[in-house]
Structure 1
C-alpha cells in the first residue's frame, strides 16, 4: 500500500498507549489496482510545479481547477479504497462522517506519494464527503517516530503550577496552564524577500489569545538563527512566521531569518534545527511556506524537510505547509487554532486536542473558500 492509515484502537498497555494506542495487532491491507506509477509520477510532478513562483489571478483559477482533479484522482485511486477497507473492518463507520468526535488517521506516504495531500482528498462541493469530513488527518514518517512523539503528555491546562519548565510525571512531561511558555518568532519583512503583510496581525492575535488564557507569550523581534536555537530550549510552544525555502538537497532547506546586524537575510538550516536542544519542546507551529515539502524526488522516502527537523529535535507536534501558503489564510488558521487550543479544559488526550484544533481551524478556512483548494489544503499536522 502506498499509504497506511493507523487510527487509534484498543491495544496493549505501554507508553504510547497512554495517549491512545498507535496501532493494533495484525494488519489491515487492501490492493489499489487503479493507482498507477506513471499517473503518480505525473500528478506529483505537477503538484511540485504548482508551488513555485508567484501566481496571477487567472493562473490561480487554473491551478485550483487542476488541484480539484488531483484530489478526486487521489480519492478514487487510493484514499477512497482505504476508507472502504476501514469501514468494512469496523474501524470507521458512516456515523463518523462530519462527526464532532472524529477519529484520527496518520498517513505515511511512500516514495513520490510522500508529497500527496491525503488529508484533502475527495470532492469538496456541497454535500460531498472527502477525507476532511471523515477523519482528522496527521502525517508521520514511521510508526517508530509516532511512538517517540507520543512519549510526552500534552495537557495545557492541567494543574495550577507556576514553574517555567515541564514537570516529571512517571517519565512523561506534562504541560500546565501556569507554566506554559510560548515563543513567537515573526519576520514581517525580510531582506531580498517579499513582505509578509499578515504576520504582525497574526502574532498579535496569538499573543492576545495566550495572555487571555494565562499563557506567557514572548516575542523575539529581528530573530537570528543563533537566537532562535538558543531560545527554543526554554519554551514549550514555538510559533515561527517567516519565509522558508525547500531545496533540492533537503538538508539545505532552511528558515529565512536575519544576520546579527539586521541588514541581511540568514539561514536557519534543517541540520541545525535537528540538532537543537529542546528539553521542553511540545509544539512547533511553522507558519512558513513549503515547510513540509521535500523537493528531492530521489530522497522522497527520507522525509527530510523543515517540519521533520523539528520533530527530530523533539517536538511532539509540528504544524506546517505542504506548499506555498496564502498570507491571509496563515493568519486565519493560526488565530482559530490557538483560540481552540487555549480553551482546552485539560481533561482527556491533549495530543488529540492539538490535532483536532488544527483540523477545525483548517476546515473553517475551507468552508469559507471551498474552491480555493491550494489555499487551505497546504496546511497539515505532523506528529503525535
Structure 2
C-alpha cells in the first residue's frame, strides 16, 4: 500500500496528541476530543488506503484482518480508525467493516495458526483473580464462573493465586482469564507481570519458561495489558498480551489503557456469550475469539453513555 512522504511524521504527531491529552484523564473532554480527532486522521493516513486496497483485492467485508504494527504504530488504535464515510446514519469504524486482530510479528501469527488442534470439546478455563486489589473484579468472577457447564472452570482467587499455582494451573488449561493488576516495567519487558496474592508477581519470564501444551486462549483483563508506552517503542517491547501469544496461547484479548469499573464484567459477559453461542461453525474457540470480541465491543458501544475510549480499549492478538 503506497504511503505519503510524511507518513511517520504524521503518525508521531497523532501519538503525541494522545499522550498529551491523557494527562487530563481518559474520561476527560480533552481526551475524548483528541481520540476522536486521532481516529479520524488515522483513517485518512492508514485506513483509507488499506481499505481501498482490500477492496481492489476482492477481500470481502467481515473478513479477518491482521495488523502487524511497528514503531509508533504499536501505540495507535488501528482497529478503530474512523468514522468511515457511509450512506447510513450510524458512524462506522474499521472494526465494523472487518474483524481486526494484531500480532507482534508474522512468525508469532504463523505459529499461532499452524498445526491448529481442531477440537470442539468443552474447554478447561483457569480463572485468576485478586478482588482485594481490584474490588470491581467480583462481578467479573461471577461471570466467568457462570460459564459452567459450557466450560470446565477452575479458579485461583485471592490467596490461592501465587506464581507457582498459576503456572501449574496454566499447564493444565486451554483458556485463562486474569482479573488482576498488570504491571509494566519500562525498559525491562520480561519483568512485566501480573500482580498476585500478597504483592507477588507472575512475570513474563515465568510464563516464557512455562510449558503450555494445551494453551489456546487468554484474556488478561488488566489495565494496560496491551499498552506500548512511548518510552518502550524504540525497544519494540513485549507487553503482557503479546507475551501470552509468544508463550503458547494462540489468541489473546487485552486492553490498551485503564478500564472503567464495570467494563471488565460487562465485556467479559458479552464476549463469552458470543464465543460460546455459535453452534453452526466448526472453528475452534480460539479462532472465534476475534469475532466474539468485535461483537462484544459493538454491544458495549451501543449502550447509552459509553464514551469512545471505552470500546476502543479492547484489542485482539493472535489467530
State the TM-score, normalizing by the size of structure 2: 0.90
SS at match of 1:327: coil
Specify the alignment match of 2:139 in structure 1. 201
Q: Does 1:354 align with 2:289?
A: yes
Any gaps of 5 or more consecutive residues in structure 2? Answer: none
Counterparts of 1:333 and 1:367, CA distance in 2: 12
Counterparts of 2:281 and 2:289, CA distance in 1: 13
Alpha carbons 1:139, 1:383 under 8 Å: kept: yes
**In structure 2, do the counterparts of structure 1 residues 330 and 34 end up closer, same or farther at CA, with 3 Å as the change threshold?**
farther
Query: How many residues get paired?
Result: 312
Specify the alignment match of 2:157 in structure 1. 221
Alpha carbons 1:366, 1:376 under 8 Å: kept: yes
Matches within 5 A, 1:280-295: 280-295=214-229
Task: Work out which of the two has the higher radius of gyration on C-alpha atoms and give 1 or 2.
Answer: 1
Any gaps of 5 or more consecutive residues in structure 1? Answer: 1-29, 97-101, 154-171, 191-195, 259-263
Counterparts of 1:114 and 1:353, CA distance in 2: 24
- Say which of 91, 110, 127 aligns to 1:147: 110
The Cα RMSD (Å) is 2.3
Q: Does 1:62 align with 2:62?
A: no
Deviation at 1:85, TM superposition (A): 1.3
Deviation at 1:39, TM superposition (A): 2.8
Matches within 5 A, 1:1-384: 30-33=1-4, 36-48=7-19, 55=25, 60-92=28-60, 96=61, 102-123=62-83, 126-153=89-116, 172=117, 174-177=119-122, 180-190=123-133, 196-208=134-146, 210-213=147-150, 215-222=151-158, 223-249=161-187, 250-258=189-197, 264-295=198-229, 297=231, 299-300=233-234, 302-345=236-279, 347-350=281-284, 351-368=286-303, 372-384=307-319
Cα deviation code 1:78-108 (max 9, x no counterpart)? 111110111122223xxx3xxxxx1110001
Alpha carbons 1:255, 1:269 under 8 Å: kept: yes
The farther-off stretch of 328-337 and 242-251 is 242-251
The farther-off stretch of 77-86 and 243-252 is 243-252
Counterparts of 1:352 and 1:173, CA distance in 2: 10
More helix by share: 2
**In structure 2, do the counterparts of structure 1 residues 91 and 346 end up closer, same or farther at CA, with 3 Å as the change threshold?**
closer
SS at match of 2:295: helix
Alpha carbons 1:110, 1:301 under 8 Å: kept: no
Deviation at 1:319, TM superposition (A): 0.5
Counterparts of 2:111 and 2:312, CA distance in 1: 27
SS at match of 2:200: strand
State the TM-score, normalizing by the size of structure 1: 0.75
Deviation at 1:363, TM superposition (A): 1.1
